[in-house]
């Protein structure tokens, strides 16, 4: 019986994922931050149908996010409170992304990727996720906020584990809205930063970087890392970028960085590692997401070493951060 229940939980995981996505999109944990609320109050605040929202609340109580008093008033549990948008290490931004219909449809074609090896996103939407996002600004915003949430969750660990204070200028390549760069600049006041990403993404970064008080030491540059990246950095930082791409494109991106780097420069990849992951389930599932959504893959330390060598870099060391990501430090091969 237990085995069958366990299997049932695995099979219905998609329902939990979509329900948690809706809870995050409605901001239910945020609304419950100051104490319990009735379903009528929650429905009023979110514009949702009260009867359906009651059913969602009972389902979310069943999986442990909220607790009911038996009279249609609900409160955050410890888990629900950690799901507030402003909670430390919150995954609410990520939850708002993964249930979006275009993302959900893509994952519905996982079988296509497994049977053919092809990227499901391109098969379903007829273009890459990056081209799709460029044409859909509302989705781009949700995506960028999800990346910001994921980066915020590991930023302190990354900047504490690796000494960025040795560099004059750090270029964050594919840096999104600059969450990790902001953490580097906050922790190391002598460092200047360059945020490089696609033009629409960089255009949305000013608010975050100025709210963290580092905009004065930072410059935003829009472009494509298949053409060029800004010159003059002492370190080129790429977090969760190379895992988005197959080997050939990854080598191209790394070569572009190599062309802009001085001989003393450092290349810093911040990535999960299949062979070292402290959370192997998360990393294995992230590998599937890379296959389906972006067309990339998670890799082992040796696979990164080979990729770096093909682009003219020596992997010097991998630095654990205590979170699920590592800093892979590489130098131009002499």
How many C-beta neighbours within 10 Å does residue 209 have?
22
Per-residue buried b or exposed e for 164-190, using 16+ beta carbons within 10 Å of the residue's own CB: beebebbbbbbbbbbbbbbbbbbbbee
Told to check if 252 binds ligand SAM by CB under 6 A, we report no
Query: Is residue 249 within 8 Å of 240, Cβ to Cβ?
Result: no
Please report where in the chains the tokens 């070569």 appear, as a residue: 255
* Cβ contacts of 334 within 8 Å, gap of 6 or more: 314
How many C-beta neighbours within 10 Å does residue 35 have?
8
Q: How far is the CB of 277 from ligand SAM (least distance, A)?
A: 17
For ligand SAM, which is the closer residue by CB, 253 or 315? 253
Strand-by-strand arrangement of the 37-38 sheet: 37-38, 73-76, 66-68
For ligand SAM, which is the closer residue by CB, 176 or 193? 176
Side-chain half-sphere CA neighbours of 167 within 13 A: 30
Q: How far is the CB of 2 from ligand SAM (least distance, A)?
A: 38
For ligand SAM, which is the closer residue by CB, 81 or 247? 247
Query: Is residue 142 within 8 Å of 100, Cβ to Cβ?
Result: yes
Q: How far is the CB of 66 from ligand SAM (least distance, A)?
A: 29
Q: From the CA atom positions of the chain, what is the Rg in Å?
A: 21
For ligand SAM, which is the closer residue by CB, 76 or 323? 323
Rounded-to-integer distance, Cα 254 and Cα 13, Å = 37
> Footprint of ligand SAM on residues 188-247 (CB under 6 A)?
197-198, 201, 224-226, 239-241, 244
* Cβ contacts of 113 within 8 Å, gap of 6 or more: 119, 120, 123, 291, 292
Query: Is residue 8 flagged as an active site residue?
Result: no
Q: How many residues bind ligand SAM (CB under 6 A)?
A: 18
For ligand SAM, which is the closer residue by CB, 19 or 179? 179
Q: Sign of the CA dihedral 220, 310, 287, 103?
A: positive
Nearest by Cα to 272 from 247, 248, 240, 249? 240
Binds ligand SAM (CB under 6 A): choice among 99, 174, 220, 296? 174
Among residues 8, 21, 136, 243, the one annotated as catalytic is 243
> Footprint of ligand SAM on residues 107-166 (CB under 6 A)?
130, 147, 150-151
Q: How far is the CB of 152 from ligand SAM (least distance, A)?
A: 9
For ligand SAM, which is the closer residue by CB, 99 or 204? 204
Q: How far is the CB of 207 from ligand SAM (least distance, A)?
A: 15
Q: What percent of the residues of the chain are helix, what percent strand, and what percent coil, each to the nearest 5?
A: 55, 15, 30
Q: How far is the CB of 72 from ligand SAM (least distance, A)?
A: 39
Q: Which residues are catalytic?
A: 243
Residues that bind ligand SAM (CB under 6 A): 130, 147, 150-151, 174-176, 179, 197-198, 201, 224-226, 239-241, 244
């Amino acid at each position: 019986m237990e085995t069958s229940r366990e299997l049932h939980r695995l099979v219905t995981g998609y329902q939990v994922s979509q329900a948690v996505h809706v809870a995050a999109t409605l901001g239910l944990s945020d609304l419950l931050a100051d104490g319990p609320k009735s379903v009528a109050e929650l429905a009023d605040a979110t514009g949702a149908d009260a009867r359906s929202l009651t059913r969602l609340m009972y389902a979310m109580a069943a999986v442990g996010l909220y607790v009911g008093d038996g009279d249609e008033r609900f409160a955050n549990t410890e888990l629900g409170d950690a799901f507030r948008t402003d909670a430390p290490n919150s995954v609410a931004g990520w939850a708002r992304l993964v249930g979006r219909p275009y993302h959900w449809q893509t994952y519905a074609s996982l079988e296509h990727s497994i049977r053919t090896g092809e990227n499901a996103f391109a098969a379903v939407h007829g273009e890459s996720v990056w081209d799709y996002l460029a044409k859909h600004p509302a989705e781009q915003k949700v995506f960028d906020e999800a990346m910001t949430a994921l980066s915020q969750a590991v930023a302190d660990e990354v900047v504490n584990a690796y000494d960025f204070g040795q560099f004059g200028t750090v270029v964050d390549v594919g840096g999104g809205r600059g969450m990790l760069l902001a953490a580097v600049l906050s922790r190391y006041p002598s460092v200047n930063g360059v945020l490089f990403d696609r033009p629409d993404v960089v255009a949305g970064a000013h608010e975050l970087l100025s709210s963290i008080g580092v905009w004065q030491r930072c410059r935003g540059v829009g472009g494509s890392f298949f053409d060029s990246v800004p010159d003059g950095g002492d370190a080129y930082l790429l977090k969760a970028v190379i895992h988005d791409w197959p080997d050939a494109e990854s080598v191209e991106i790394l070569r572009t960085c190599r062309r802009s780097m001085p001989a003393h420069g450092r290349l810093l990849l911040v990535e999960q590692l299949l062979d070292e992951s402290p959370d192997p389930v998360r990393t294995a599932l992230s590998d599937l997401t890379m296959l389906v959504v972006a067309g990339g893959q998670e890799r082992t330390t040796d696979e990164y070493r080979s990729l770096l060598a093909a682009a003219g870099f020596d992997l010097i060391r991998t630095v654990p951060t205590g979170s699920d990501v590592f800093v892979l430090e590489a130098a131009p091969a002499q």
